Structure 1
Amino acid sequence: MKKIVFIICLIVSAQTVFSQSTETEIQNWYEILKHAKTPEEQVTAWSNISESYGYLGKPDSCRYASEQVLRIATESNQDLLLCRAYLYLGNYFSNVSDYKQALEYEFKSLKLAEKLDSLFDIWIATKEIGVNFKELKNFDEALKYLLKASSIVQRLGSEGVSLSNRTYTHLSEIYLELGQPDSALRYIQIANENTDRKSDDYGYARVLYIFAIVHQAKGDHDLAESYFKKCLQFSDEQNVYSPFVTSATRYGKYLYETGNYQESKMYALRGYFKAVEAKDKLLIANAASLLRKVYYASGQKDSSYFYSEIKEAYTDSVFSEQQRNQIQNLTFGRQLKELEDQELLLEAEKQRSQNIQYALIAVSILVLLILYLMLSRSFITNTKLIEYFGVVALLIVFEFLNLLLHPFLEKITHHNPLLMLLSLVSIAALLVPMHHKIEKWATSKLIEKNKRIRLAAARKTIQQLDGGGKDVVG
């Protein structure tokens, strides 16, 4: 009984320390959010707040922060922010094991990233899609997207070195799942070559762990044992909990299977307490499951029963949380859809307004042309007035064409000012000579017609005068 009370107190103590540290981090991000002026700064703050709430196991707060990310990105009308907001939402759904919705938002992120031609955003969306397919055990699709992500890393050259670890480690694990340890070894070696242990302690710890399980799969147990111990030592020094727990539990399981129960218990306990410290319920359940077996094999049935209870409690807790999250995610997903639909309605209204303006411009041009032709064909007007109206009419026509082409240019140039300028200059270079030719032809023709009308009118006047003179003489 005393032992149980001691362990429970230790669990509560470790969770409290971890919670306080993360709560402090959240408060720091809220302070940053208060002074955030741009949408970019606000999105960064809210995304970090969302991630921190995820670590604390507070899905409601995490969902709220994720919703704020999408709201700000949507209101900013910036495709890049929206692209990253979709990615953050995908990560949220992935963290709560809702891989279907995670993939939905990650595919949206990928579509925008490809539209923006942003290699980094294409890489991260593609990589996350591959990781989610891996979690769903759909290894063919996972391999497809992660190989695509690796090709982007290669295209990025030196800029892609820091992205290599997160790509090649997953590829190695997939090949291991597919029963191809040689391919798995090749990719983890590439990951190792491109991972800096000083700047990426988590990534390097993962490399050591995957080296261990790859060599274990190949039957090289001495090498596997060496890498397990390297991973545990490095992870412990750098306080990287996830690779530490998975490595301790996996190595403890190997020792259990070889009959070394004493060492197996030692490593299983190390993994268990680190999982408790990190407040990771699934890892706690996995470590407790191994401890139940080890204590039972050692003849310590009370301890075995104790860890069996812990394993069942945390497994049930994880399952209940997943069920609750799935139900709440349905509501959350509907809210996100409503937010997106609202933005689509606003965009459609804006487009309709633009179309009405274009229609009014077109009508104005037609009316002006009709008046212009009426003046030139039916009335005697000043030649300079016809030339003036000709220039104005043609300028309006070409400006109208420019208005119609402008959205298309924005789309293909991705709002790049230099490319926009070059495109407009190119269009002007094509249109200006045509403008001058049409202007010269139209005005000359209409002026000529106007002159004929004026001449005919003059002749008619002369004839009338001549007729009047004859009457007087007679």
Structure 2
Amino acid sequence: MRSVFRASPFYSCCFFLLLITGFQPAAAQQTQVTDSLHKLYQKSTDLPEKARLAGELSQIFMAIDTLRSEQWGNQAIEDAELSRNRKAMFKSQLDNGIRLAYLATRKGYNTKALEYMDNAFRMAKENKLEKEQAESLLWKAYVYRNNSEIDQAFTQTTQALTLAQSAGNDSLLAACYFSFSECHKEKGEKLQMLKNVFEALSVAENINNHALLRNGYLQLAEFYKSVKNYDKALDYAFRVLDLDTHSNSDESKYGRTHVYNSIAIIYQLKKNYSMAESFFNKSILYADTIQFQPLKMQGYMGLMNLYIDNKNPVKALDFFNTKQDLKQSIAGYGMSSVIDQAYALIYSRLNKLDSASYYYARCLPFFENNVNPASKLNFYYYYAEHLMQKADKTAAIAIYQKGKQIADATKNLDWMRIYSRLLDSSYSMTGNYAQALYYNKLYNRYKDSLDKLGKEDEILLLQISDEEKRQDRLAAAEKEKLEKRNRIQYMSIIIAIAALFLLLVLLGLLRVSATTIRIFGFFAFLMFFEFIFLVFKKGIYGITKGEPWKDLAMMILIAAILVPLHHWIEHKVIHYLSSQHMLKLRDNSKAWWNRISKRGEPVA
């Protein structure tokens, strides 16, 4: 979702909120699930199993109570250590890293997550566990990407790919391609991103892995959203929704709220606010349906973003004030400053500058010291905007300078352009035209680069369209080739059946045993009626649509007609051919022909 926030700054008011309420399958549970797992943990006497259950509980509580999450994480490590099972010891370290990676936007969590993952990797390497090594490297790549360290993410993913290939694990191979695609997306290399998504999807389709297919379609939706082809993005998002509707998997059950929110955001970018609001509400209602309240938070924040984007800060404030469960959930993460940030932005939009200043002063230390670069870029943008509203241009310029330094360090071209433009206009207002000119030149340079990328996007879309047409042509040609082959096979079967029946008739004209005729008749009629059954079976798909009970009913009906008919006709024909009637017919025909021939002979 980061690319959305970069392209659309209005999202950044709640960027951090969306991240902390973003869906993670293991972190979207509630009390009944934790109670169930706790009971299983107490009953179990197997230490590796206890470590696994404690690890799951540590991740679940990350969305509910971070202190209890820490306790269960430590318990998982203790149980694994006592078991001396190397895979359990690896997993306990990785599980702790994963639970902290859910909040990798915060510096402290980011560092601790990497420490646990490094421990997991070392343990896997020492015990020559290639699959486990690759898993830990991919999670490290995830954390590095969230911290805008893309080169490090590339390095980790490359190492994971080598291990996945060595282990011959297709699921891990697809996961590596997905990780590469995310890295290329962060660097703005969209063609490479797309190629890696297609590689991953190819592997996922070959092994029919639902989770990987789902991830691939979501990434394609994100890609088309990034190039502003919103209808194509919606096509893939709805494809994921269709997968989720027909699946009972955990990722589909708990991930559907994320899909609803993704669809809502695409509609919001299309300025179709009514559809966006509808899908945010669908997300909230679905969370209620499956009785997992933490999943409602993403929908709540989506609605608040929507109201702000639609220039309705009053509605945003009323909405935020009524959602006490949302604020309690955020505070439970130790992130009350994010609530202050939201209030600061809303009051700034309402032009209540003193109230906005109060809340900005409260949350400023947190964002200065505890969040990653991407979150700082968003925060500084709105904080400086507020200072400009207050006519404190000097303070605003200082904040813009901080944002520009972070944008330069992370090589984020969008933000480099935005902050250069803001510094240009700010210095112009203060009469410092030399600095204004300097930043104006930078702005135009970055703008030209982005315009070039925009043209590359257009070329890329044309390339994709051409490739899709080429693939359609290849698919049509392959379909025609298959149909032609099938037609030839059907014709060959018909000729073979006709030849068998011709041979059967000829046998009836010759003096062969009744047993021989019965054997040939059995195979001839068997082949004939099985062929009819095959034709009917292919034809009934249009009626049954592949539903098992309908298929069964239709096959019973066809069998009820064909089986008695088969036996009756076979009995009659074989009886006729084997009862010398054909021989008598042959002899009578021969005598008749002889008489005709003699009539035509001349008299001597």
User: What TM-score does the superposition give when structure 2 sets the normalisation length?
Assistant: 0.55
Matching residue's letter, 2:151: E
- CA deviations 1:377-414 (Å, max 9, x no partner) are 999955854566545543443355446657997x746x
Within 1, Cα distance between the matches of 2:324 and 2:202?
37
Residue 110 of structure 2 corresponds to none
Query: Taking structure 1 as reference, are residues 395 and 348 closer, same or farther at Cα in structure 2, changes over 3 Å only?
Result: closer
Query: Taking structure 1 as reference, are residues 297 and 46 closer, same or farther at Cα in structure 2, changes over 3 Å only?
Result: same
1:49 to 175, 180, 185: 180
Q: In the alignment, is residue 318 of structure 1 matched against residue 446 of structure 2?
A: no
Residue 472 of structure 1 corresponds to none
Matching residue's letter, 1:398: F
Q: Quick check: 2:510–2:583 contact (8 Å CA) kept in 1?
A: no
- CA deviations 1:47-97 (Å, max 9, x no partner) are 2212212223444544543454466567778898666545434423433xx
Give the deviation of 1:261 after TM superposition. Answer: 3.3
Unpaired runs of at least 5, structure 1: 1-16, 414-418, 465-474
- CA deviations 1:397-454 (Å, max 9, x no partner) are 3355446657997x746xxxxx6xx676555554554454334443454466568875
Residue 135 of structure 1 corresponds to 269
Q: Quick check: 2:424–2:439 contact (8 Å CA) kept in 1?
A: yes
Residue 388 of structure 2 corresponds to 256
Query: Taking structure 1 as reference, are residues 176 and 430 closer, same or farther at Cα in structure 2, changes over 3 Å only?
Result: same
Q: Quick check: 1:368–1:393 contact (8 Å CA) kept in 2?
A: no
Matching residue's letter, 1:331: Q
Unpaired runs of at least 5, structure 2: 1-143, 592-604
Q: Quick check: 1:215–1:223 contact (8 Å CA) kept in 2?
A: yes
Within 2, Cα distance between the matches of 1:366 and 1:230?
90
Residue 238 of structure 2 corresponds to 110
Q: In the alignment, is residue 193 of structure 1 matched against residue 322 of structure 2?
A: no
Q: Quick check: 1:293–1:304 contact (8 Å CA) kept in 2?
A: yes
RMSD: 5.0
Matching residue's letter, 2:401: L
Give the deviation of 1:99 after TM superposition. Answer: 1.0
Matching residue's letter, 1:394: F
Q: How many residues align structurally?
A: 431
Q: Quick check: 2:175–2:212 contact (8 Å CA) kept in 1?
A: no
Matching residue's letter, 2:458: Q
Residue 442 of structure 1 corresponds to 569
Q: In the alignment, is residue 28 of structure 1 matched against residue 156 of structure 2?
A: yes
Give the deviation of 1:273 after TM superposition. Answer: 2.9
Secondary structure of the 1:259 match is coil
Give the deviation of 1:22 after TM superposition. Answer: 1.6
Within 1, Cα distance between the matches of 2:415 and 2:337?
17
Query: Taking structure 1 as reference, are residues 222 and 428 closer, same or farther at Cα in structure 2, changes over 3 Å only?
Result: farther
Residue 290 of structure 1 corresponds to 422
Residue 13 of structure 1 corresponds to none
Secondary structure of the 1:239 match is coil
Within 1, Cα distance between the matches of 2:345 and 2:510?
93
Within 2, Cα distance between the matches of 1:346 and 1:68?
21
Residue 372 of structure 2 corresponds to 240
Within 1, Cα distance between the matches of 2:467 and 2:151?
27
Within 1, Cα distance between the matches of 2:216 and 2:572?
59
Within 2, Cα distance between the matches of 1:408 and 1:77?
26
Secondary structure of the 1:311 match is helix
Residue 533 of structure 2 corresponds to 398
Name whichever of 226-235 and 312-321 sits farther off. Answer: 226-235
Within 1, Cα distance between the matches of 2:509 and 2:277?
73
> What does residue range 88-127 of structure 1 map to in structure 2 within 5 Å?
88-95=219-226, 98-100=227-229, 103-104=231-232, 106-108=234-236, 110-111=238-239, 114=242, 117-118=245-246, 120=252, 127=261
Query: Taking structure 1 as reference, are residues 297 and 42 closer, same or farther at Cα in structure 2, changes over 3 Å only?
Result: same
Secondary structure of the 1:99 match is coil
Query: Taking structure 1 as reference, are residues 151 and 425 closer, same or farther at Cα in structure 2, changes over 3 Å only?
Result: same
Residue 34 of structure 2 corresponds to none
Secondary structure of the 2:457 match is helix
Q: Quick check: 1:288–1:308 contact (8 Å CA) kept in 2?
A: yes
Q: Quick check: 1:225–1:251 contact (8 Å CA) kept in 2?
A: no
Within 2, Cα distance between the matches of 1:168 and 1:47?
29
Within 2, Cα distance between the matches of 1:231 and 1:374?
98
Matching residue's letter, 1:30: T
Q: Quick check: 1:87–1:106 contact (8 Å CA) kept in 2?
A: no
Residue 278 of structure 1 corresponds to 410
Matching residue's letter, 1:397: I
Q: Quick check: 1:261–1:298 contact (8 Å CA) kept in 2?
A: yes
Secondary structure of the 2:183 match is helix
Query: Taking structure 1 as reference, are residues 313 and 38 closer, same or farther at Cα in structure 2, changes over 3 Å only?
Result: same
Matching residue's letter, 1:193: L
Give the deviation of 1:28 after TM superposition. Answer: 2.0
Q: Quick check: 2:181–2:194 contact (8 Å CA) kept in 1?
A: yes
Residue 594 of structure 2 corresponds to none
Give the deviation of 1:256 after TM superposition. Answer: 1.5
Matching residue's letter, 1:134: Q
Query: Taking structure 1 as reference, are residues 388 and 279 closer, same or farther at Cα in structure 2, changes over 3 Å only?
Result: closer
Query: Taking structure 1 as reference, are residues 358 and 177 closer, same or farther at Cα in structure 2, changes over 3 Å only?
Result: farther
- CA deviations 1:293-324 (Å, max 9, x no partner) are 44455555544444444434333432333234
Within 2, Cα distance between the matches of 1:76 and 1:280?
37
Query: Taking structure 1 as reference, are residues 453 and 320 closer, same or farther at Cα in structure 2, changes over 3 Å only?
Result: same
- CA deviations 1:226-250 (Å, max 9, x no partner) are 6555665555555333343223222
Q: Quick check: 1:181–1:214 contact (8 Å CA) kept in 2?
A: yes
Query: Taking structure 1 as reference, are residues 399 and 296 closer, same or farther at Cα in structure 2, changes over 3 Å only?
Result: closer
Matching residue's letter, 1:26: F
Query: Taking structure 1 as reference, are residues 444 and 324 closer, same or farther at Cα in structure 2, changes over 3 Å only?
Result: closer
Matching residue's letter, 2:174: V
Give the deviation of 1:106 after TM superposition. Answer: 4.4
Within 2, Cα distance between the matches of 1:84 and 1:175?
29
Query: Taking structure 1 as reference, are residues 390 and 262 closer, same or farther at Cα in structure 2, changes over 3 Å only?
Result: same
Residue 11 of structure 1 corresponds to none
Name whichever of 276-285 and 113-122 sits farther off. Answer: 113-122
Query: Taking structure 1 as reference, are residues 403 and 335 closer, same or farther at Cα in structure 2, changes over 3 Å only?
Result: closer
How many percent of aligned residue pairs carry the same amino acid?
Answer: 14
Residue 345 of structure 2 corresponds to 213
Q: Quick check: 1:268–1:287 contact (8 Å CA) kept in 2?
A: yes
Give the deviation of 1:26 after TM superposition. Answer: 1.0
Q: Quick check: 1:276–1:284 contact (8 Å CA) kept in 2?
A: yes
